[in-house]
Structure 1
Amino acid sequence: MEEMISFEDFTKVDIRVGTIIEVNDFPKARNPAYQLTIDFGDLGIKKSSAQITTLYTKEQLQDRQILAIVNFPKKQIATFMSECLVLGAVNGKDVILLNPEQRVKNGSQVN
């Protein structure tokens, strides 16, 4: 287990539901990845890079709802600016995306 954090630390993490509206290959990434464009409703559109190519095709990701942390600073990845962190469970080298069990409004907050 990692270092313990306080509840106050947890409340600083802004996790939201978004829908992937565009998926592109990311050949300049160090490890195989996709460039995702995600609609977070009232929060707007954000982009992210995700190393999820082993389990998901671009077609499977289109219109899929995901969970992401939206209040990290932007991060330059090769020639791409990532604006949020898509959440997934790591299983060996594979990443399984986290998503709501039922469709919800884009931008819904995860508590």
Structure 2
Amino acid sequence: MNSLFWIAIVFIFIVGIAALVYLVKSLFDMWREYAATKNETVLLLFILNIVGLFLSGSLLSMIVAIIFYWNRSKKMRYLGIFLLIAGPVLFILFIIGSFTLYDGQMMDWEQMEYQMNL
């Protein structure tokens, strides 16, 4: 297999693990802030983060975590935005790159129409 393909798999794995660590850290930070301040908005974000993790994977949870960190930590906000953008971009590049592994010629539409009419 192509070495570029394996490098893409490794980067996708690293971004996925980083996103999971980011989400777990955001859950801990939300719970600590709620325990200290009893702010109901933080509790709502905590519940939305957990529910979003189970309903939509990490997409909704990443957005909720970015909202939580928006005024609290500039570094965590930028890290969340980077992870939110990097995940889908790497996945799309992985899909496009996987097509290059096949050296065979793709069937064109005229050949496909000819075969369907037989």
TM-score band by shorter chain is under 0.3
Q: Greater strand percent: which structure?
A: 1
Q: Greater helix percent: which structure?
A: 2
TM-score, normalization by structure 1: 0.22
TM-score, normalization by structure 2: 0.21
